[in-house]
A and B are shown apart, each in its own frame.
Chain A
Amino acid sequence: MGREVSESCVESLVAEIVSSYCRGFYADKPELAAPRIEAIGFQVGHQLSERYTMDRPRFTDHLEAIKFICKDFWSELFKKQIDNLKTNHRGTFVLQDNRFRWLAHMSVDPSVETTGSIQDPSAMAENRAAQATGLHLYFPCGIIRGALSNLGIPCAVSADISNLPACSFVVRIKA
């Protein structure tokens, strides 16, 4: 349609979704926030896949659909393609993005709390970074799951953030 939105608006919106759901709507039941955010992502992915597959011929198999997600779908959303795709040829795919756009501007306070714990400070900071960013990955996981399920591939998607700013999305296709 030709209308555009600034990228910083999208990033702020995603960050605010996570913040409102985790600290506002489900403040006393934080474990319910994650599935809710993932469900929102599911509907968005469902509708986006409808739009981005419009002019393409149909996919022949699961690998074609995953390659579509890695190339065209990812470039429409994040202006770049997935950097690395791995598979075990038994229904599991790992999509690795070396610099995930929505996490690129995220910083975590490196100061260590003096609670008397004997944990290694760098490990603690890494742990808190992982926790904070983990919440922000439910939405993109939902988007991938929604897009794939609209293409006829039911699956489960989880994110792996062992080395930021790179993050991997693990897609497990349900047999």
Chain B
Amino acid sequence: MIVCLAVVGHQNNPLYIQSFTEADDALKLHHMVHCSVDVIDERVDNPKKSGPTINETFLGLLCPTENYKVYGYLTNTKVKFILVTTDLDVRDADMRTFFRRFHAAYVDAVSNPFHVPGKKITSKTFAERVATIVKSFGLTTTG
């Protein structure tokens, strides 16, 4: 189950952060997102360590902690998408599909002429689309 989704801008400023659990550990999830941003930066700045997939947008598993898995995705415009999930076995292909749909929703939200680049995404349509994507992701993996 996806517990948290975050979009971080190219200056590491948060553009969108949404948790999907009723539990009160929003702070812990935000902290985890913050740490994963550092992991992404490390991977991007050390091309020798990350191997041949340096130019891919999907970065894969960032840091497995005891209960959660954190996945990262870096766009061409240096915007980072971070996803925290409690699922133990997630297929790579599912993750990529999820990030592709999320990227499409993000692009549509940013193309809004009333959106100020660098500020948080406040569009309700974006929030609804993201909720739909998260829900359908949950259905495809557990179904």
> Considering the chains assembled together, what is the distance between the CA atoms of A57 and B57 in angstroms?
6
Q: Please report whether the interface of chain B is mostly helix, strand, loop or mixed according to DSSP.
A: loop
A58 touching B111 by the CB < 8 A rule?
no
Q: Among the listed stretches B18-26, B71-79, B85-93, B122-130, which one makes contact with chain A, having 4 or more residues with CB under 8 Å of it?
A: B71-79
A1: B residues at CB distance < 8 A:
108
Q: Please report whether the interface of chain A is mostly helix, strand, loop or mixed according to DSSP.
A: loop
B104: A residues at CB distance < 8 A:
54
> Considering the chains assembled together, what is the distance between the CA atoms of A49 and B111 in angstroms?
10
B107 touching A58 by the CB < 8 A rule?
no
B117: A residues at CB distance < 8 A:
43, 46-47
A54 touching B107 by the CB < 8 A rule?
yes
Take A54-B103, A54-B104, A57-B56 as given contacts and tell me if A47 and B76 are in contact as well, using a CB distance cutoff of 8 Å: no
A59: B residues at CB distance < 8 A:
55, 76
B77 touching A49 by the CB < 8 A rule?
yes
A47 touching B56 by the CB < 8 A rule?
no
A151 touching B77 by the CB < 8 A rule?
yes
Query: Among A46, A54, A57, A150, which residue has its beta carbon within 8 angstroms of that of B55?
Result: A57
A interface, size bucket: 10 to 19
> Considering the chains assembled together, what is the distance between the CA atoms of A50 and B57 in angstroms?
13
Take A57-B57, A60-B55 as given contacts and tell me if A51 and B111 are in contact as well, using a CB distance cutoff of 8 Å: yes
Minimum C-beta distance from B97 to chain A (A):
13
A53 touching B77 by the CB < 8 A rule?
yes
B113: A residues at CB distance < 8 A:
43, 47
Q: Shortest 7 CB-CB distances between A and B: which pairs?
A: A53-B76, A57-B55, A58-B55, A47-B111, A150-B77, A51-B107, A50-B110
Chain A residues engaging chain B, CB cutoff 8 angstroms: 1, 43, 46-47, 49-51, 53-60, 150-152
